[in-house]
């Protein structure tokens, strides 16, 4: 049985995945700002360093997997920096800090949590996601802040696209250490995040309309995402590397059916 680290383990999809992995007999080390084995504010470099140190202390010699669920949605008045720092750097900095323990595992697996907001939100600034990949959170926050009241609405798909790009572009490097790196892009999932979001003056009405557009006719259950994550962590997915898998009731396909594959233009 394996030892897995989950951030955002106190709520929603993270809590459902923790329950699923524990029911399957695995050990889970939870990291969250509350109600977890390791308490840390993953919006800050200090909190992230503290979390890596505490997990390293608890883990022993190796880890079998890592899934950073901790995240913040767009909301009225929420600074875009909070979203960039938690959703992107809270995932990637922890991954890089835990990489030696994952490399010491026997075929460790990492699942980054993207979102179908990447493909269904219009007009997010690509250069902000590029800034994340370059390690420049301040620049990403500045670019998204220029959208004023809509800063968090753009920062969210920026952070989630950057996470997906990280998984895609770094997977070849990670697999050389025996670590599989993939991402899951959930659609609208019924968790505390979406309950709060529906009441938000900035995004509430859009969220309600979005559920109405889901081909499956409903929001997803956290357990439906946990099942995909458990598959990607487990022994049945050993040849899945660098993929972004959508768990969204069909909405990405409905919005952007022919955007993939894009033709590879050589020369
Ligand atoms: P949730 O709000 O239920 O859980 C988020 C967790 O993150 C909570 O346990 C919270 O305490 C923790 N957290 C918040 N701020 C933190 C901080 N500063 N430091 C450490 N932990 C912190 O949300 P959820 O719906 O379960 O979302 C989980 C992940 O899935 C997020 O990354 C989210 O962006 C992503 N996602 C969710 C949906 C959805 O519809 N629910 C869709 C696509 C992607």
What would the pLDDT profile of 161-187 be if each residue is shown by its tens digit?
999 999 999 999 999 999 999 999 999
Q: Count the Cβ atoms, other than its own, within 10 Å of residue 27.
A: 15
99-115 mean pLDDT = 98
Say how many Å lie between the CA of residue 4 and the centre of ligand 1: 18
- Does the pLDDT value for residue 210 go beyond 90? no
Contacts of 263 (CB under 8 A, 6+ apart): none
pLDDT above 90: residue 109 = yes
Ligand 1 atom 13: residue of nearest CA = 70
Terminal C-alpha separation, the chain? 48
Ligand 1 atom nearest to CA at 117: 43
Supply the residue whose CA is at minimum distance from atom 29 of ligand 1.
69
Q: Which of 5, 7, 8, 118 to mutate to test the pocket of ligand 1 (most atoms within 8 A of CB)?
A: 8
Q: Give pLDDT, residue 267.
A: 84
Q: What pLDDT is stored for residue 231 in this prediction?
A: 98
In the predicted model, is pLDDT for residue 261 greater than 90? yes
pLDDT at residue 158 is higher than 90 = yes
Point out the ligand 1 atom lying closest to the alpha carbon of residue 11.
9
The protein residue whose alpha carbon is closest to atom 31 in ligand 1 is 71
Q: Which tokens sit at 236?
A: 């049945």
Over residues 122-147, the mean pLDDT reads 98
CA 96/CA 101 separation, integer angstroms = 10
Tell me which residues are annotated as active site: 156
Cα 265 to averaged position of ligand 1 atoms, centre (Å) = 37
CA distance 96 to 100: 8
0.85 exceeded by pTM: yes
| Pocket flag, ligand 1, residue 42 (CB < 6 Å) | yes
Is the predicted pLDDT of residue 19 greater than 90, yes or no?
Answer: yes
* Mean per-residue pLDDT, 141-162: 98
The pLDDT, as a whole number, for residue 260 is 94
pLDDT in tens, 36-63: 999 999 999 999 999 999 999 999 999 9
> Which residue among 6, 10, 12 is best mutated to probe the pocket of ligand 1, counting the most ligand atoms within 8 A of its Cβ?
12
Residue nearest to atom 33 of ligand 1 (CA): 71
């Amino acid at each position: 049985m394996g030892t897995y680290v989950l951030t955002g383990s106190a709520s929603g999809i993270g809590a459902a995945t923790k329950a699923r992995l524990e029911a399957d007999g695995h050990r889970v080390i939870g990291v969250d700002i509350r109600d977890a084995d390791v308490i840390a504010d993953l919006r800050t470099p200090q909190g992230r360093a503290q979390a890596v140190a505490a997990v390293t202390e608890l883990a022993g010699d190796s880890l079998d997997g890592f899934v950073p669920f901790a995240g913040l949605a767009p909301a009225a008045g929420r600074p875009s920096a909070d979203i960039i720092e938690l959703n992107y750097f809270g995932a990637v900095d922890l991954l890089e800090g835990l990489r030696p323990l994952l490399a010491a595992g026997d075929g460790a697996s990492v699942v980054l949590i993207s979102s179908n907001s990447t493909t269904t939100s219009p007009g997010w600034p690509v250069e902000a996601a590029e800034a994340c990949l370059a390690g420049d959170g301040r620049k990403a926050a500045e670019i998204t802040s220029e959208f004023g009241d809509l800063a968090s609405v753009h920062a969210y798909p920026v952070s989630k696209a950057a996470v997906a790009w990280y998984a895609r572009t770094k997977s070849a490097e990670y697999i050389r250490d025996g670590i599989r790196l993939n991402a899951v892009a959930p659609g609208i999932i019924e968790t505390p995040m979406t309950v709060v979001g529906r009441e938000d003056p900035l995004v509430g009405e859009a969220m309600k309309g979005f559920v109405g557009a889901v081909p499956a006719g409903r929001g997803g259950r956290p357990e439906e995402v946990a099942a995909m994550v458990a598959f990607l962590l487990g022994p049945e997915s050993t040849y899945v590397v660098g993929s972004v898998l959508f768990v969204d009731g069909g909405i990405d396909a409905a919005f952007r059916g022919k955007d993939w594959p894009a033709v590879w233009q050589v020369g």
